[in-house]
Chains A and B, each alone.
Chain A
Amino acid sequence: MRISSLQIFNNGINNIQNGQTQLAKLQEQISTGKNLNRPSDDPVAAAQILKFRRELAANETYSDNADVSKRRLELEEITIQQVKDAGDRLKELAIRGSNSTMNNQDRGAIATEAEQVQQFILGLMNTKDAQGEYLFAGAKGQTEPFVNDGQGNFSYQGDNEVRLIQTGPAAYVQSTDSGRAVFQTVPGDMEIALLNTSAAIGPLPGGFAIAMTAAALGENSEFQQYIEENGKQDLTLSLDLATSQYDLLDPNGASVLGGAVAIPAPVAPATTSVIEFNGLEIDTGVDGTAVVPGEVITTTIRPSQPRHSILTTAEKLITALQAPVTDTASREAMMAGVAEAMTEIDVAQAGHRSAQTELGGRMVSLQSQVAVNEDFSIFTQSALSVLEDLDYASAIAKFSFQEVALQAAQQTFSRVNNMTLFNYL
């Protein structure tokens, strides 16, 4: 085949240039340590690398989140433990206070100490975290959660929200607890509200003022038992003044009395009729005798049983201890008050314990999630490394080989170009 001189020259140059390009590429790989330096080197691997990097970045965030959550959960745990310890102290004080050798003055001193413990617990329950947010206020982080109304009634001002934090692609850990869930665990007395009381259409005999009268709603009261047996549903009281009858209806409209009953006559000295139902007494405000055509009055009886915290319990204890004992009755009242407080402390402590157990469980799962994340990170790193990191041994071997090839090309170039017939003319 015929070949022109320029071709010989150009081929030589091209070969050298190719060799240099290859060397430069290998050198780039060797100096960066990366197999892939731009996506077009291997588009599929590039997309995977992008995905792995993303997963690693997310994983790092999850680990950070886990750290933050761990710190907060630890703070919670310590705080609850301290509340629990203080609760133990309250119980000791209660036992000492109920000791029959104590006189009024001794009990007063114990009550004073109980007050201090109460203040201490209040401070703990209103703890702030590093960000200055109340730890146990739910989502209302800047609202003081437990507040004394001045009468010793402590109410909860926060809400029941919890904060979920992502610690894995599909793993969320609850990193806060609301004060309501942790502390508001002691059931109080049953409360009854009258809702949606219908207005009277005309003047009624005896006036009209439907109201709760006796609130015999304590722990073992008759009504409480009724609720436990029948559920805490609304009852609708319907007073039909045309027939002088009343009825109590459940939410489905069925009578719980087995049918309408006559409104009883007022018992002197009262002038209005009082209806009684399982210990629940409702003053109808009417005298129960007059007939008013078309007049039907309804009201909804809504029972509820709010809960309170150990703070209110402490207040009960303090009140019981501060009441001077003068006779047997007042001693029994004191003993009963202290006993009730002790029972309530137990209930509150049980709540604290279950919160602690839950916290412990959460911290364990947090830890195992951290371990999973670490494993994942190592795994992803190694997968990433397979894709993008350079195999130095093979790259350096290739480099040496290219070097030899380039040298050969350079040497032959000058040799070939030196060969010309003109040398012999």
Chain B
Amino acid sequence: MSGSISVALQGLSAAMRGFETTSNNISNVNTPGYSRQEIILSSRAAPEQGVQVVDVSRVVDTFATQQHWSSSSAFKSTEAYAFFAGQVDDLLANPATSISAATDDFFSALQTGVDDPSSIPNRELILAQSEALARRFSEVDRQLRSQNETINAKLQSAVSNVNELAGQVAGLNDLIRLADARGESANELKDQRDQLIMQVSEQVGATIQTGTGNSDINLYVGNGQPLVIGGNASTLVARQGDPDINDMEVYISINNSEVSVSEQIREGEVGGMLQFKDDVLLPTWNELGRLAIVFADTINQQHSNGLDLDGNLAGNLFTDPAYVGDVRAFSTNSTEISGGSNVIIEDTSLLQASDYVVKFGADGAFFVTRSSDGTVFTKDDFAVRNAALSGYQDATAEYDVANGEIRLNIDGLDIRLSSQQGNAFGENDKVQIQPVRAGAELIHMELKSGRELAFASPVRAEAAEDNGGTIAIGDIRINDRSQRIDVNIVPPAVVYFTDANTYSIYQAPAAGVAFDPTTATAYDFGDDANGNTIVSIGRSYDTDVGIDIAGTTAALNLIPGLITDPNEDSVLDLKDRPMQLVFGTDGSGNDTYSVFDMTDPSNPLAVSVNNPYSEGAPIQLQGFEFVPEGKPQPGDKLNFGYNTDAVSDNRNALKLSNRQQERLVDGGSYQDNYGRLVERIGTKASVANINMEANLTIMVSAESIRNGVSGVNLDEEAANLIKFQQQYQAASQVINTARELFQTLLNSTGG
């Protein structure tokens, strides 16, 4: 009898526990991360019999929980990426901030200058639009910069948050291990820990591993760097990057040594932001910088080939972008890099939207990594630089290993690095070069007044009035002054071509004196190593070898009659020296032309005579060339002079405005290039949105699986309530029945 009561009591107590558990579940129906609990009952064996509560356990499916963690870290990563990419996307395409729209405005304004080159209001308008375009570049740059700063700040707060969370996970690991050892319930602690791990996953993404005795959970970030091992947590550090302080990096500090994990964390919000920086922000920045540089340089080139309203050869319209590049040494270098190290942009047609890292190896080896496509150039990819010639020589290097001096010409860049102490560069020393990053920031309009805009061509070219033939002057191209080849010899020399295959080297005339091959003095090179005189007159020219001067060569594509002279510069010479072309025929009736210096009109000085003429083949004159059209009659003349008083000339303005269509950046026009950037970023943002949606679906589904297993269902709990109530009532009934039985027995015995 008492056995029954005791069994019933057990039932009562089990029902109570069940009731408590149900009640707990109901209370926590809305608690985030709560896993429903259930009581585990088992029957007792004879002789005691009855029921016992073995455990109150959490209903969890470890796989579903982990699935939930990893899917949320993937979602958070794509969410952050999509958020920032969307911002850049809007920034680039919005007509209010678009570079393309400002470029349209600039060229439209320029057209008014083409229409009416002498109009001062038009010129001021163009100046205002140039200024606006330059400002638009720097404005977009500023927006990107501020986005970078936002990300840096977010990285920092995310990292300190993760450190906090990781510490708590480690603490909970200890407590849970202790509770498990004592056989106490750690359900709530485990729920708490799951919640924390979830938050860590959302921030950086973590790999989970069950540790000691199934009690600990260990977390790893990146490529398996331990964040939490049992009761110990490592620290993440976010700080200024090396060597670019604006490019914040994330390090993990394990046992006081720091390892960068920026390249490895791709999960969670931090991963999304880091990936966004690498994928979108920095490439966009570089692309924009390059566009600004190419734009400024190509517009400047054309602009400085023209005459302003006052008849002066013009300067740059925008800041000369040659010097906007940055050189930064890594802090880990063993040799200090001299402050004189620099990068100069020499040829914008070769320019890439990329950063570079130069790394020094053993025995004079070096490696140049182009970050945009990851290409690594080794020493063998560079030819030896011709030291005697200044100027850019593509894919060449000049490396003084012992004294730590290197000069590299690659992708239009002239990179010069030297060590501070003048000794060799340390092995594995690295230097980062950012040639274009600051391009958009540093572009400014340089002119003060609309009068300085160069719309006129410097050359006044006219066919003589009494020409009998149809000879006409086609396109006049001013030689690009920056592409002159300077020959580093003293005293200065003149290279004079008598025909396409023969040239002579003369001493340059004194400044201001016209060069005359008939009276010029042959250059004296002295003797060569064998004691033979080095010939300077009548050398034969081989295009593959170029001009050979004192053992050094430069490949030149030259035309007969061209004078290459360090003193002679440009079309400015026309000011003092008008030129005349007189056509004739040679003995066989072929057309020829002779070039005369008309400084004294009654005493024309022959510069070159009886050159073969062919229509359409450019004729090179001092500082410019032109394309002749039509057929001359003997005695026909073309006159060339400096274009004074040409206030209504729009030839240079037209050439400036044609720059809009020219393919100057990566085989496309300025705006094609910008359009490609917008398309690229748009695609990235669009893909990021699609990924985000997909990851959201996966996360929601993982969450429902997890909640399906561990979530509280109120109907179920209501049923449980009924179940435990019935159990309780039944057990009470058993006691009652037992009491009645006992009473019956008492009554029957006691009378």
Task: State the CA gap A358–B750 with chains docked (Å).
Answer: 145
Are the C-beta atoms of A4 and B713 separated by less than 8 Å? yes
Q: Are A3 and B708 in contact (CB under 8 A)?
A: yes
Q: Would you call A142 an interface residue if the criterion is a C-beta within 8 Å of the partner chain's C-beta atoms?
A: yes
- Cα distance A133–B116 in the bound complex, in angstroms: 9
Contact B648 A140, beta carbon cutoff 8 Å = yes
Encode B114-125 as 1/0 by CB contact (under 8 A) with A. Answer: 111111000000
Among A47, A51, A141, the one with the most B-chain Cβ atoms within 10 Å of its Cβ is: A47
Chain B 76-101 interface 0/1 with A at a Cβ cutoff of 8 Å (1 = within): 00000000011001101100001011
**Which residues of the partner chain A approach B681 to less than 8 Å between Cβ atoms?**
39, 43
Minimum Cβ distance to chain B for residue A395 (Å): 20
Of B115, B464, B660, the most chain A CB neighbours within 10 A belong to B115
* Given known A46-B678, A57-B108, contact A252–B604 (CB-CB < 8 A): no
Chain B residues numbered 624-679 whose CB sits less than 8 Å from any CB in chain A:
633-636, 643, 645-651, 654, 657-658, 660-661, 671-672, 674-676, 678-679
Q: By the criterion CB–CB under 8 Å, are A232 and B646 in contact?
A: no
Q: Is the Cβ of B704 less than 8 Å from the Cβ of A7?
A: yes
Decide if A46 touches B93 in the complex (CB within 8 Å).
Answer: yes
With A39-B92, A163-B650, A252-B587: A5-B29 Cβ-Cβ less than 8 Å = yes
For residue A393, CB closer than 8 A to chain B, the reply is: no
Closest residue of chain A to B307, judged by CB?
A139
With A138-B648, A425-B722 already in contact, the answer to whether A420 and B715 are too (CB < 8 A) is yes
Contacting residues of chain B (700-747) with chain A, CB-CB under 8 angstroms: 700, 704, 707-716, 718-719, 721-722
Is A160 in contact with chain B by the CB < 8 A criterion?
Answer: yes
Given A6-B29, A7-B708, A139-B649; A50-B675 close (CB under 8 Å): yes
Taking a contact as CB atoms under 8 Å apart, the answer to whether B587 and A61 are in contact is no
- Give per-residue flags for A159-176: 1 if the beta carbon is below 8 A from chain B beta carbons, else 0: 111011110010010011
Interfacial residues of chain A within 15-62, with CB under 8 A of chain B in the complex: 38-44, 46-47, 50-51, 53-54, 57-58, 60-61
Least Cβ–Cβ distance between B694 and chain A, in angstroms: 15
Complex Cα–Cα for A254 and B658 (A): 48
Smallest beta-carbon distance B449→chain A, Å: 17
Question: How far in angstroms is the closest Cβ of chain A from B733?
Answer: 20
B115 contacts A161, C-beta separation under 8 Å: no
Tell me the bound Cα distance from A293 to B552 in angstroms: 49
CA distance A176 to B648 in the complex (A): 10
B519 to chain A minimum Cβ distance, whole angstroms, is 15
A232: contacting residue among B108, B118, B634, B675, CB under 8 A:
B634
Contacts of B159 in A (CB 8 A): none
Minimum CB–CB distance for B340 against chain A, Å: 43
Contact of B582 with A by CB under 8 A: yes
Q: Is B49's beta carbon under 8 Å from chain A?
A: no
Range class of the A interface residue count:
35 or more
- B460: CB under 8 A from chain A? yes
In the bound complex, residues from chain B placing their C-beta under 8 Å from that of A58 are 104, 107, 660
Residue in B456, B604, B679, B708 whose beta carbon sits within 8 Å of that of A4 in the complex: B708
Residues of A close to B603: CB separation below 8 A: 195-196
The reply to whether A305 and B466 form a contact with Cβ atoms under 8 Å apart is: yes
Which stretch (B320-328, B387-395, B682-690) binds chain A?
B682-690
Q: How far is the CB of A295 from chain B (nearest CB, A)?
A: 20
Q: Which residues of A contact B586 (CB under 8 A)?
A: 252
Q: Which residues of A contact B674 (CB under 8 A)?
A: 50
A184 to B465, CA, bound (A): 8
B430 to chain A, nearest CB (A): 36
Task: Given A141-B118, A420-B715, A425-B722, check contact A39 B93 (CB 8 Å).
Answer: yes
Complex interface: chain A residues within 8 A of B211 (CB): none
Tell me which residues across on chain B come within 8 A of A42, comparing CB atoms.
Answer: 682, 686
| CA distance in complex: A6, B118 (Å) | 76
| B482 part of interface (Cβ distance < 8 Å) | no
Assembled-state Cα–Cα distance A140/B650 (Å): 11
Contact status A251-B675, CB under 8 Å: no
Q: A54-B671, A64-B111, A187-B466 are in contact. Are A140 and B645 (CB under 8 A)?
A: yes
**Assembled-state Cα–Cα distance A172/B658 (Å):** 11
Partner of B707, one of A4, A165, A175: A4
Q: By CB atoms of chain A within 10 A, which of B92, B633, B648 has the most?
A: B648
Give bound CA distance, A326 to B276, whole Å.
102
Contacts of B104 in A (CB 8 A): 53-54, 57-58
Residues of B within 8 A of A251 (CB): 584, 594, 610, 634
Instruction: Check if A159 sits within 8 Å of B462, measured CB to CB.
Output: yes
Residues of B near A50 (CB, < 8 A) are: 93, 98, 100, 671, 674-675, 678
In the complex, A131 has a CB within 8 A of chain B:
yes
Q: Cβ of B714: which chain A residues have Cβ within 8 Å of it?
A: 5, 420-422
Q: Which of A47, A131, A232 is B682 in contact with, Cβ under 8 Å? A: A47
Which residue from B36, B118, B464, B683 sits with its C-beta under 8 Å from A133? B118
Tell me the smallest distance from the CB of A67 to a CB of chain B, in Å.
9
Give the CA-CA distance A306 to B100 in the complex, in Å: 51
**B643 in contact with A43 (CB, 8 Å):** no
Alpha-carbon distance between A58 and B108 when the two chains are bound, in angstroms: 7
**A2 within 8 A of partner (CB):** yes
Q: Are B675 and A7 in contact (CB under 8 A)?
A: no
> Taking CB as reference atom, which chain B residue is nearest A138?
B648
CB contact under 8 A between A14 and B108, given known A4-B707, A141-B647: no
Distance in angstroms between the alpha carbons of A57 and B98 in the assembled complex: 14
Q: Show 9 A/B contacts (Cβ-Cβ < 8 Å), sorted by A.
A: A3-B711, A4-B712, A50-B93, A57-B108, A139-B648, A141-B118, A141-B648, A165-B114, A305-B465
Known: A40-B685, A139-B643, A233-B635. 20 other contacts (CB 8 A): A2-B713, A3-B707, A4-B36, A40-B683, A40-B686, A40-B688, A50-B98, A51-B671, A53-B101, A54-B100, A65-B115, A68-B116, A138-B648, A160-B463, A161-B651, A232-B466, A251-B610, A251-B634, A252-B586, A420-B718
Which residues of B approach A to under 8 Å, CB–CB? 29-30, 36, 85-86, 89-90, 92-93, 98, 100-101, 104, 107-108, 111, 114-119, 456, 460, 462-466, 468, 582, 584-587, 594, 602-604, 610, 633-636, 643, 645-651, 654, 657-658, 660-661, 671-672, 674-676, 678-683, 685-686, 688-689, 700, 704, 707-716, 718-719, 721-722
Closest 8 CB pairs of A and B: A4-B711, A141-B648, A43-B682, A39-B682, A139-B649, A232-B635, A421-B718, A47-B679
